[in-house]
Amino acid sequence: MKVKILGNGGAINQGLYYNAFIIDDHILCETPPDIMYTLSRQNIAIKQIDTIFLSHYHGDHCFGLPFLVLNLFVQQIKKNIQIIGPSGLKEHCEKLVELAFTNDHPCYQWLNENFVFTEIEQDKCSIQDYSFLF
């Protein structure tokens, strides 16, 4: 397993990149506000990402999701990207995209056509061959 730390700053930080990491170059954990810049800075192509994990819905963990979705939409990367997170996952993701672009924007519908939403229990999660306890 290869884990690359993309950032370790919290909601209040002194100029650090927000919390995020990627596992084996395809499982993205958290989508903070600066995720597009961070992925670019680390030379990680978004087409590699097939799974996104959101631990909770605080802005420093998910406010970058609409811009990741938009970039995937613009590049027409069509695949069933799995997004894993707590209860209400689909509704939260839709609301974030709606707030960023409105529900009339084509990436709003594209989100529902190209993402698979999986809700998890708050204390454990399995993603592909990996198990997480938190």
Residues designated catalytic: 60
d(CA 99, CA 115): 18
- DSSP character for 18? B
Between CA 13 and CA 65 the distance in angstroms is 20
**Backbone phi, then psi, for 24, in 5-degree steps?**
50, 35
Q: Sheet harboring 3-7: ordered strands across?
A: 3-7, 20-23, 27-29, 51-53, 81-85, 115-119
Q: Exposed, middle or buried by CB within 10 Å (0-12, 13-18, 19+), for 95?
A: middle
